[in-house]
Amino acid sequence: MSPSYTAAFETVLRESPAVARESRTENLNAFLKAGFPNKRQEDWRYTDLSPLAEQNFALAAPGEIPDLSSRFLPGTDRLVFVNGRFDATASDYPPGAIARRAEFATPVDVFEKDSISHLNAALALDGLALRLAPQTRLDRPLHVLSVTSPGAAPAMSHLTHSINLEPGAEATVIFEDLTHGDGTHLLTQRVWLRAMDHARLNVIRLQEHGSGVQALTRWDASVERNATLDWINLDLGGHLVRNDLVMTLAAPEARVNLSGVYAPGGTTHVDNHTRIEHFWPGGVSRETYRGIVKDRARAVFNGRIVVHPQAFKTDSAQHVANLLLSPEAEVNAKPELQIDNDDVRCTHGATCGQLDEYAIYYLRSRGIPLDTARRALLYSFAREVLANIAFEPARQRMEQALLARLPGTPEVLP
């Protein structure tokens, strides 16, 4: 293992209060012991992180802040993190401070950890900590902008976020990850989500990292009685992107709507590993993913759904569809259902193909050039997911971000 991880840890430790040191040390040791995952581990068959062990990532210095005003979303409050550190001047949020040094509000860590989570817990200094009291709601959606600003030398940053909705609370949070510059950067994020009874949590995420960024994000959610989690992700950039989701329906009648679009290009590698755990009766989960893979990019989707023996009347549907836009593009999509009782309704489907030539011809026969016809159909394909974003400014931002990445001449679509 490169000594850079331990060196970064020493730096972090100096910034940490005494109470956090023991836990950070334990996490660092656990990380060093386990190392980065490699291809011999089933969950990492297609995404090998072992090269990270030999790279020297210094803990990123507070980066230069680009002008972010064009990224601001109207009607939102805003928290900005640059290179893993909270940026108070660029942020704009109501009193009742919800950005913090990670150790002040770390929830009890009940979730199992992989080695990257240990690394994150050892090194993350900042992140969002949002807790809503029962029956309260965020008046405005919260926009969490995380900017990575790579320098000349490889660097890393880490963020730990938590959102905790107490019974009946409601919130919409938009995570937007972007990069300012081209250098090499490693970013790990860990996000805890908890929706207690009857709470409604709406999470939207847009990832537009630069081509030198390796972004590893782990999401753990606990959704409780009659609570709903809506989670929508759009992955567009990055060099290596891995999203690990563990969504737990932790009480009866919980509901999880999980969806995403990945549209990697160039040589981007994007890997979504999702796991939905039904532990209690009456849970409902919906999972929809759309992949548009071009150039020499590679996408991995692994969607695991586990219905435990006591989770009667579970209603679960999963669908993933992929379009390959070039002969060198690659997709590995694998649904995995593990159903341990008979009284359930579970459906799943996975497809991989090309654009419908007949539909392209239909549009061309109206005078629409080939290029535009293809873009319109790609947009149509992804929109099945993006149309579900209820907060209009976020939906528009994400549709435009996707359109800008589709092959062909950028132009406005409906």
Partner 1 sequence: MLEIENLHARVGDTKILNGITLSVKAGEVHAVMGPNGSGKSTLAHLLAGRAGYAVTEGRILYDGKDLLSLTPEARAGEGVFLGFQYPVEIPGVSTLYLLKTAVNAQRKYRGQSEIDALDFLAWIRDRVKKVRMDIEMLHRGVNEGFSGGEKKRNEILQMLVLEPRLMILDETDSGLDIDALRIVADGINALRSPERAILLVTHYQRLLEYVQPDRVHVLARGRIVRSGGPELAHELEAKGYGWLDAA
**What residues line the site for partner 1 (CB under 8 A)?**
356-359, 361-370, 372, 376-377, 379-384, 387, 413-414
Q: How far is the CB of 222 from partner 1 (least distance, A)?
A: 33
Q: Closer to partner 1 by CB, 215 or 378: give it.
A: 378
| Paired sense of beta strands 85-86 and 77-82, if any | antiparallel
Q: Closer to partner 1 by CB, 1 or 370: give it.
A: 370
Q: Closer to partner 1 by CB, 346 or 363: give it.
A: 363
Q: Closer to partner 1 by CB, 306 or 376: give it.
A: 376
Beta carbons of 200 and 393 less than 8 angstroms apart: no
Q: How far is the CB of 369 from partner 1 (least distance, A)?
A: 5
Nearest to 182 by CA among 234, 235, 238: 238
Residue 288, phi then psi, degrees to nearest 5: -135, 125
Q: Closer to partner 1 by CB, 153 or 387: give it.
A: 387
Q: How far is the CB of 326 from partner 1 (least distance, A)?
A: 19
- Residues 57, 1: Cα–Cα separation, whole Å: 11
**Residues sharing a CB contact under 8 Å with residue 309, sequence separation 6 or more, in sequence order:** 340, 341
Q: Find the angle CA(92)-CA(232)-CA(76) to the nearest 5 degrees.
A: 20
Q: How far is the CB of 376 from partner 1 (least distance, A)?
A: 5
Tokens for 159, please give them: 């963020």
Name the strands in the sheet holding 255-262, side by side, starting at the edge strand that comes first in the sequence: 85-86, 77-82, 142-148, 170-179, 200-208, 228-235, 255-262, 284-293, 314-324, 344-353
Q: How far is the CB of 388 from partner 1 (least distance, A)?
A: 12
- Residues 16, 71: Cα–Cα separation, whole Å: 31
Q: How far is the CB of 411 from partner 1 (least distance, A)?
A: 9
Q: Closer to partner 1 by CB, 34 or 413: give it.
A: 413
